[in-house]
């Protein structure tokens, strides 16, 4: 009898399922929908917690062992069909509601609208390279516009393609309630609905080495017109960029560990005024910093370790020759 009741209870409940998702206007913004989902989980958890804790505390006072004379066995209870149905049906319904609700939001978040603006982000130890293939690519397929640690996007839906050059990183944008691993050799993606212009922090959410905590970036949302202007001026500037200017842009990737201001105390040595000067190494030898040495220090940094610093730098063996030369040109300007 009890099973039949339970069966019909579940069937009638299942028929109401389609209306359990989230209202379409909330679902339009996955960040909002996740927030709604979080609230639902929170309320249900609090109710369950109170349902357990209040009787627990109440009973522990009511049935406290007072005198040994009260040490007698209680009444023998065989079972209670009504109660058993209730405590099977209610949790089942709760789990189904949460599952349907969460799936609805998750499904929305994985479907990027067709008209979304696409950007490509490459993680590395320790920063993010932002590429804008929709603004044009060169003959090697590389984006003409690139930025470091600042992702500029137009207002509206944005598809962010993610990958990594070295180890696993994770692209985490709390404001858009989204996070996805960046995996070497594979492209993953996230969907952000960039509704309001503004600046939103990005974190690396996967421990990836000594400067993981410095692996920070920003999403900057611009109104569509402003974005267009920014993109066209960047495209023009890229065409006229000197190697020194390109190097100054690329060097931002190194500033997690190095600096260009000459201050002591970084994970790696300061890069200011090193070109043409003598440097001492851990093994007691020394050399003058020239182009060959700088190139080796980028491609194979552990070949020579500067005295007083750890061998902490990852090799950038896959960095294009032109980028290495641009960085060296820039370093020469740091007197």
Instruction: Identify the residue among 22, 145, 192, 204 touching ligand CUA (CB under 6 A).
Output: 204
User: Closest distance between ligand CUA and the C-beta of residue 115, in Å?
Assistant: 31
Instruction: Identify the residue among 119, 145, 202, 208 touching ligand CUA (CB under 6 A).
Output: 208
User: Closest distance between ligand CUA and the C-beta of residue 109, in Å?
Assistant: 22
Is residue 162 close enough to count as binding ligand CUA by CB under 6 A?
no
Instruction: Identify the residue among 109, 215, 271, 294 touching ligand CUA (CB under 6 A).
Output: 215
Q: For ligand CUA, which stretch binds (CB under 6 A), given 21-29, 64-72, 104-112, 201-209?
A: 201-209
Q: For ligand CUA, which stretch binds (CB under 6 A), given 92-100, 141-149, 207-215, 277-285?
A: 207-215
Q: Tokens in use for 9?
A: 């209870």
**276's torsion region: left (phi>0), alpha (psi -120 to 50) or beta?**
left
C-alpha distance from residue 170 to each of 80, 121, 123, 165 (Å): 50, 11, 8, 12
Residue 218, CA atoms < 13 Å, CB-side half-sphere: 10
Q: Write each residue from 167 to 186 as x if it is in contact with ligand CUA (CB under 6 A), else as -, in one continuous string.
A: --x-----------------
Nearer to ligand CUA, 258 or 272 (CB): 258
Is residue 238 close enough to count as binding ligand CUA by CB under 6 A?
no
DSSP state of 251: G
Please tell me whether residue 280 adopts helix, strand or coil conformation.
Answer: strand
Q: For ligand CUA, which stretch binds (CB under 6 A), given 60-68, 200-208, 231-239, 280-288?
A: 200-208
Nearest-Å Rg of the Cα atoms of the chain is 29
Instruction: Identify the residue among 207, 214, 223, 282 touching ligand CUA (CB under 6 A).
Output: 207
Residues 115-154 that bind ligand CUA (CB under 6 A): 123
N- to C-terminal Cα distance for the chain?
Answer: 89
Burial class (CB in 10 A: 0-12, 13-18, 19+), 8: exposed
Is residue 58 close enough to count as binding ligand CUA by CB under 6 A?
no
Q: For ligand CUA, which stretch binds (CB under 6 A), given 205-213, 236-244, 281-289, 309-317?
A: 205-213
**Residue 193 and residue 29 in contact, taking contact as beta carbons nearer than 8 Å:** yes
- Residues 6+ positions from 101 with CB-CB distance below 8 Å: 20, 21, 22, 37, 40
Rounded to whole angstroms, the Cα distance separating 100 from 98 reads: 6
Q: Tokens in use for 203?
A: 């974190």
Is residue 109 close enough to count as binding ligand CUA by CB under 6 A?
no
Site for ligand CUA, rule CB under 6 A: 123, 169, 204, 206-208, 212, 215
């Amino acid at each position: 009898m009890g099973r039949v009741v339970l069966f019909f209870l579940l069937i009638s409940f299942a028929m109401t399922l389609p209306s359990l998702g989230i209202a379409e206007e909330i679902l339009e913004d996955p960040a909002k929908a996740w927030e709604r989902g979080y609230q639902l989980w929170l309320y249900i958890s609090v109710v369950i917690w109170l349902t357990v804790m209040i009787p627990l505390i109440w009973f522990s006072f009511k049935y406290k062992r007072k005198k040994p004379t009260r040490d007698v066995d209680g009444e023998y209870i065989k079972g209670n069909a009504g109660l058993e149905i209730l405590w099977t049906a209610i949790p089942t319904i709760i789990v189904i509601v949460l599952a349907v609700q969460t799936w609805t939001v998750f499904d929305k978040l994985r479907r990027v609208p067709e008209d979304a603006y696409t950007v490509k982000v490459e993680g590395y130890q320790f920063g993010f390279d932002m590429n804008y293939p929709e603004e044009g690519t060169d003959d090697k397929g590389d984006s003409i516009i690139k930025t470091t640690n600042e992702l500029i996007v137009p207002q509206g839906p944005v598809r962010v393609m993610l990958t990594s050059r070295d180890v696993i990183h994770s692209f985490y944008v709390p404001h858009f309630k989204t996070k996805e691993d960046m995996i070497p050799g594979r492209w993953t993606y996230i969907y952000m609905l960039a509704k309001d212009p503004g600046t939103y922090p990005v974190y690396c959410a996967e421990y990836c080495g000594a400067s993981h905590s410095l692996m920070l970036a920003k999403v900057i949302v611009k109104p569509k017109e402003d974005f267009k202007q920014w993109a066209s001026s960047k495209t023009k500037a890229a065409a006229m960029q000197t190697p020194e200017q390109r190097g100054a842009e690329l060097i931002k990737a190194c500033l997690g560990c190095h600096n260009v201001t000459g201050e002591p105390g970084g994970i790696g040595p300061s890069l200011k005024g090193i070109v043409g000067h003598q440097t001492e190494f851990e093994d007691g030898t020394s050399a003058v910093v020239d182009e060959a040495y700088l190139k080796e220090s980028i491609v194979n940094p552990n070949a020579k370790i500067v005295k007083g610093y750890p061998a902490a730098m990852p090799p950038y063996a896959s960095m294009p020759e032109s980028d290495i030369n641009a960085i060296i040109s820039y370093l020469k300007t740091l007197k």
